[in-house]
A = this chain, B = another copy of it.
């Protein structure tokens, strides 16, 4: 089972690619070409976000496009959930650099035949997702389009230096928030024509950007951060490549969502919007328990930067090959 789409961060200044069907190599070449041509105009220096100094504030900015048929199908979610999910996905980019959300602007294309209530419901989802993390809805645009399209520009403040993908150092430990596999299980069910179980469905339709969790991790010394949008192993690979380290990940340690029957599902699935953090040794199990008590989700040590590069996956104490379906990094 392969998820119906994959998304991948760019590791460059605020540019990202959502892709499906096209191989990542080709897509990377394409976006690299774009990026190279735009270099003369471009500012920033981050990963999931662009960073801009405005007045006395350092802002993090990201834009995130969700297209019906590419990123979701209408039968899967209510309009409110479509709005919630698109907005939370954009806000997760702010979490991934430990920024604090300030506001969003949202563009929406809907088919002519959509009833007005669907539009208001969708915007309710946008407003609820933004409001849940203290962000305001600053503006929007509404147009006719054959496919429901939601584009969210998220703007946040940085209380200090952003947490980048490139900050991990040899010896750092790799920690992940939450339990993985739910969105993959939901997608697999939908793709098989079935209705996913409620908890897995919730993880896909109502993702939660880990804003406060990112602040906690920063305060506890996290050196690098990424949100899990491609999947645990690919995103660990992004962190590794950007930082010049390599991870050994203990597959048996990866926390599984209750609906995930095997660890493969947790390793392969994307769209988690959980955080993957590189933290120097010293964060204790008691710290993790405190995190759990505060946020209601676990914080789990899943690996260590003890390799020269890439991701080495260990199961039952033995090295295993990273399955083909999630070796794209």
Q: How many copies does the complex hold?
A: 2
A119 at the interface (CB under 8 A from B): yes
Give every chain B residue within 8 A of A64 (Cβ-Cβ). Answer: 107, 141
- Tell me which of B16, B120, B136, B149 contacts A109 (CB under 8 A): B149
Give every chain B residue within 8 A of A57 (Cβ-Cβ). Answer: 54-55, 57
A151 at the interface (CB under 8 A from B): yes
A30-65 CB contact bits vs B (8 Å, 1 = yes)? Answer: 110110011011111000011010111101011111
Give every chain B residue within 8 A of A281 (Cβ-Cβ). Answer: none
**In the docked arrangement, what's the CA distance between A55 and B158, Å?**
11
A21 at the interface (CB under 8 A from B): yes
**In the docked arrangement, what's the CA distance between A42 and B123, Å?**
12
Interface 9-residue window, one of A98-106, A175-183, A211-219:
A98-106
Q: Please tell me if the beta carbons of A65 and B143 are within 8 angstroms of each other in the complex.
A: yes
A278 at the interface (CB under 8 A from B): no
**Can you name 6 A-B residue pairings with CB atoms under 8 Å?**
A19-B144, A34-B119, A37-B127, A38-B126, A63-B153, A107-B107
Contacts A17-B141, A34-B123 aside, 14 further interface pairs with beta carbons under 8 A come to A14-B105, A15-B142, A18-B142, A22-B112, A26-B116, A30-B142, A34-B119, A41-B135, A43-B136, A49-B139, A61-B103, A61-B139, A62-B139, A71-B143
